[in-house]
Amino acid sequence: MRRVFSFWIVTLVAAWALSGFADEVGKEISSWVPGMMEIHQISTGRGNAGLYIFPDGTTMLVDAGELGKKTERHTPDRPDGTRRAGEWITRYIRHALRHDPKPVLDYALLTHFHDDHMGEASENTPTSSSGAYRLSGLTEVGDKLRIGKMMDRGWPDYSYPTPLTAAEVKNYREFAKWQMEKNAMKMERFTPGRNDQVVLLRDAKKYSDFEFRNIGANGEIWTGTGAETQKCFPSLDTVPRADWPHENMCSTSFRISYGKFDYFNGGDIPGIPSDGYPQWHDVETPIAKAVGPVEAAILDHHGYIDTQNAFFVSTLRPRVWVISVWDSAHPTTRVWNRLQSQRLYKGPRDVVATDVHDAALIVSGGLSRLASKHGHIVLRVAAGGGEYRVLIVDDTNESHHITKIFGPYTSKGKE
Ligand SMILES: [Zn+2]
């Protein structure tokens, strides 16, 4: 009888730990376990970086930025300035993947070619031990952790809408060439509409209700039917050069579904054309039509003035908004007001940010109502996708201590 009783105690404790209830404020975040999906937004004060751990343990890096120059517009380096962002990100990833004795990044996606997403490359940027490329942001993380498949919007010609010749793109291409030759890294262009470019690699059969859907890139956007896409940018020869799509507009976007849980990431796509520019500069609207409602989403373009239009906000209507931020211009007051609007969608919502600048808090008084203003953000989805939590982890040191916990939230699916 006693043995049966202790068996149930052990089982209950294991179930409790697996469900995420084991996590407590002030303690180190618990390790990933099979069945759980995690989306980490890593705070460095120097750019965007996301780590995704899918239910079977398949891993994915989405961007690893490193700004060249920092000014008073930016928040301090996190945890501090003694290491480059690429080093801090790698160390963070190793901790998040500590369940795996030989951690690798099965996939990496570069949403677009800006230094806050890929890293900079100047004369002062250190070079890799091979000397083949410079180490900054993504190239530094990829130098230290093997990447299985690297995807971006430009491979193999890097010519849309004009040849991409910036120093950081050149450096990234040298990194890609070297990693393909020496480490068998695969390179692919991110193809909108597909749901088979990112798949579970370790135990796909067990999680048949997981899907990674490519939504858009370079103005080509999924229609919501099969793998069908539509071209939302006109042919370049029909529009004046001054109206050609800019880099942010070409960002990749995707939706991840796990059971009833859905998550959206749109890189730096805009949804509000600059004054006098054509309406097709709104990339958010056709994307929102394809994506539909989600449980959680990261703000497009860090919540800058040209994003989160009313249609986008009311269509996605997430319970949790994540802001990847380190700049005094993000997020802006009108974006914040739309996120809060009960006219755009009803019900509660929590907004969490990686590192809000003090100046942004002064200018946009409403930002004081952010659920969290600083820290790594870990979205933890329970096995099956029916429930999820948000854990905020201290970004001022490497203790990995939890500072706040939100949820559990119940996934609603496509209601
Ligand atoms: Zn950006």
For residue 4, how far is its CA from the centre of ligand 1 (angstroms)? Answer: 55
Residue 43 lies in a domain: yes
Helices and strands (H and E) in the chain: how many: 9, 17
Query: Helix or strand or coil: residue 389?
Result: strand
Q: What is the reported pTM?
A: 0.95
Residue 292 lies in a domain: yes
Helix (H) or strand (E) holding 257: strand 253-258
For residue 68, how far is its CA from the centre of ligand 1 (angstroms)? Answer: 13
Task: At 327, list the tokens.
Answer: 């700049």
* 161 secondary structure, DSSP code: S
For residue 165, how far is its CA from the centre of ligand 1 (angstroms)? Answer: 18
d(CA 191, CA 318): 25
pLDDT per residue as tens, the chain (415 positions): 556 556 566 555 555 555 555 899 999 999 999 999 999 999 999 999 999 999 999 999 999 999 988 999 999 999 999 999 999 999 999 999 999 999 999 999 999 999 999 999 999 999 999 999 999 999 999 999 999 999 999 999 999 999 999 999 999 999 999 999 999 999 999 999 999 999 999 999 999 999 999 999 999 999 999 999 999 999 999 999 999 999 999 999 999 999 999 999 999 999 999 999 999 999 999 999 999 999 999 999 999 999 999 999 999 999 999 999 999 999 999 999 999 999 999 999 999 999 999 999 999 999 999 999 999 999 999 999 999 999 999 999 999 999 999 999 999 987 6
How many domains does the chain fold into? 1
Which residues are CB-neighbours of 135 under 8 A, at least 6 positions away? 84, 86, 125, 126, 127, 128, 143
Among 332, 379, 374, 380, which residue's Cα sits nearest to residue 354?
374
For residue 316, how far is its CA from the centre of ligand 1 (angstroms)? Answer: 21
For residue 267, how far is its CA from the centre of ligand 1 (angstroms)? Answer: 7
Query: How would DSSP label each residue in 40-63?
Result: EE---SSS-EEEEE-TTS-EEEEE
Structural domain boundaries enclosing 336: 32-410
For residue 115, how far is its CA from the centre of ligand 1 (angstroms)? Answer: 8
pLDDT of residue 103: 98
For residue 410, how far is its CA from the centre of ligand 1 (angstroms)? Answer: 30
Residue 27 lies in a domain: no
Q: What is the CATH number of the domain that holds 51?
A: 3.60.15.10
Average pLDDT, the chain: 95
d(CA 93, CA 392): 16
For residue 386, how far is its CA from the centre of ligand 1 (angstroms)? Answer: 31
Residue 11 lies in a domain: no
Ion ligand 1: protein residues whose beta carbon lies under 5 Å: 116, 268
Phi–psi pair at 17, nearest 5 degrees: -65, -45
Residues 216-274 have pLDDT tens digits of 999 999 999 999 999 999 999 999 999 999 999 999 999 999 999 999 999 999 999 99
Residue 255 lies in a domain: yes
Residue type, 179: Q
Asked if residue 327 lies in contact with residue 299, where contact means CB atoms within 8 angstroms, the answer is no
